[in-house]
Amino acid sequence: MNHVAKKAGASPVTVLRRSGLLVVLVVLAVLTGCSGAGSIIGGKSRSPQEAIRITPQDRAEDVRADSEVSVKVPDGRLESVKVTRIEDARQQEVRGLIAKDGLSWAPQGAAGRLGLAAKYSVDAVALDGSGHRSARHTTFTTVVPEHRFIGYFKPENRSTVGTGMIVSFEFNRPITRRAAVQRAIRVTSDPPVEVAGHWFGSDRLDFRPAAYWEPGTEVTVEVGLRDVEGAPQVYGSQRKTVRFTVGREQVSRVDSAAHTMQVRRDGQLVSTVPITAGSPTTTTYNGKMVVSEMHEVTRMDGRTVGFGGEYDIKDVPHAIRLTESGTFLHGNYWSDGDIFGSTNVSHGCIGLRDEQGGSGSTPAGWFFDRTLIGDVVEVVNSKDKQVAPDNGLSGWNLNWKRWKAGSAVR
């Protein structure tokens, strides 16, 4: 019986040894589970979606152009991120940087603005705090706009202009998101000066420095309006760079009461020209005006500027536009020569003696040949009001403080 009992049961020593082994194994298992041994044993890894968080979300559609693209991890670090724009069968990598702490990636500068009607792919690799490596691939597409806006601007590319030139944009649609549009247009100069924008209503944006440009200045206008949302669901379409050169300084001062125009070149008086200005009932605006157009010959019909049938001259020579409302400095061959320098008879324009067909030897021809788009003509001592700053390129009639107050960018 005793022998059978011994066979059927375990000896006390054997049980103790096995119990000890069991205790040791349990302790080792607990220690291993807390050891963080990484790729050797490690705990349960996160899903790629948990480990790498990407916005916009995977397969998102109609993503707005001002949406943010970001890649983040809750812990560990990002090892690599590649964001690619796919448009019209072309691929372009989006520039960006991983933060110093390794927890996030963001695009750099203008690269952060999404293109419209494009597909984007995001590929990211990260190492989490437990040593697990994860990779994630996502895609999204941006909205296809139904409406676009464009800006018609002055001056022309590669032109040489006068020192009073104002960079002016007129938009074909009302702009409600003015700050975004203004930030997308960059005006710089060499030598550098501060340049500020000023909005006139919802469809015009002008840029100028505090004082007239210095002769010889090189100005660059970078137009980055493409895919910028100027109003709800209305996006820009232009991306181009325009450069122009500032020529010599020429400022002409028209004294309506004295019937003269003093022409100064680089500060020196070069000529005093007899003129006729607006009559007592159709006076000429006071203030600083900038040459915006020049025509060897043009037609002037009073009905196009609010008059009746007082005049319709089909061949006005040497016409220089000063305001959008119709103020010109032009040649006059139809009036008696004695009025120049003595009497104001015009309908608001500034007239210089000329011949029919135009002549380079007349005062009008002489001045026309020496004028640039962007030159300043200032009228004083007229009995009219000061020209409005948005009537042509007349923004120089605002002081610098008031000009900067019209900026949408603070």
Is residue 407, in this structure, part of any structural domain at all?
no
Confidence of residue 240 (pLDDT cuts 50, 70, 90): very high
Confidence of residue 15 (pLDDT cuts 50, 70, 90): very low
Percentage of the chain lying above the pLDDT 90 cut: 73
Q: How many domains does the chain have?
A: 3
d(CA 268, CA 214): 15
145-150 mean pLDDT: 90
Confidence of residue 20 (pLDDT cuts 50, 70, 90): very low
Is residue 30, in this structure, part of any structural domain at all?
no
Q: Which residues pair with 286 in a beta bridge?
A: 386
Confidence of residue 33 (pLDDT cuts 50, 70, 90): very low
Output b/e per residue, 40-63; b: 16+ Cβ within 10 A. eeeeeebebeebbbbbbeeeeeeb
- Report whether pLDDT(359) > 80: yes
Where residue 82 sits, what CATH number does that domain have?
2.60.40.3780
Whole-number pLDDT of residue 262 = 99
Domain co-membership, 63 together with 88: yes
- Report whether pLDDT(18) > 90: no
Is residue 76, in this structure, part of any structural domain at all?
yes
Domain co-membership, 88 together with 188: no
- Report whether pLDDT(106) > 90: yes
Whole-number pLDDT of residue 93 = 92
Is residue 314, in this structure, part of any structural domain at all?
yes
Single residue among 124, 142, 160 that ends a domain in this structure? 142
Is residue 288, in this structure, part of any structural domain at all?
yes
Domain co-membership, 163 together with 226: yes
The pLDDT tens digits for 180-215 are 999 999 999 999 999 999 999 999 999 999 999 999
Of residues 54, 71, 74, 78, the one with CA closest to residue 133: 78
Where residue 269 sits, what CATH number does that domain have?
2.40.440.10
What dihedral angle (degrees, nearest 10) is formed by the CA atoms of 364, 369, 374, 375? -60
Single residue among 230, 247, 264 that ends a domain in this structure? 247
Percentage of the chain lying above the pLDDT 70 cut: 87
Confidence of residue 88 (pLDDT cuts 50, 70, 90): low
User: What DSSP line would sit under 256-325, residue for residue?
Assistant: TTTTEEEEEETTEEEEEEE-B-B-TTSPPPBEEEE--EEEEEEEEEGGGGT--SS-EEEEEEEEEE--TT
133 vs 33, which has greater pLDDT?
133
Domain co-membership, 389 together with 270: yes
- Report whether pLDDT(25) > 80: no
d(CA 171, CA 5): 105
Where residue 235 sits, what CATH number does that domain have?
2.60.40.3710
Domain co-membership, 177 together with 255: no
Domain co-membership, 264 together with 237: no
Reading phi first (left if > 0) and then psi (alpha if -120 to 50, else beta), residue 359 is in beta
Give residue 67's domain range. 48-142
Q: Mean pLDDT across the chain, nearest whole number?
A: 88
Helix (H, G, I), strand (E, B) or coil at 331: strand
Is residue 211, in this structure, part of any structural domain at all?
yes
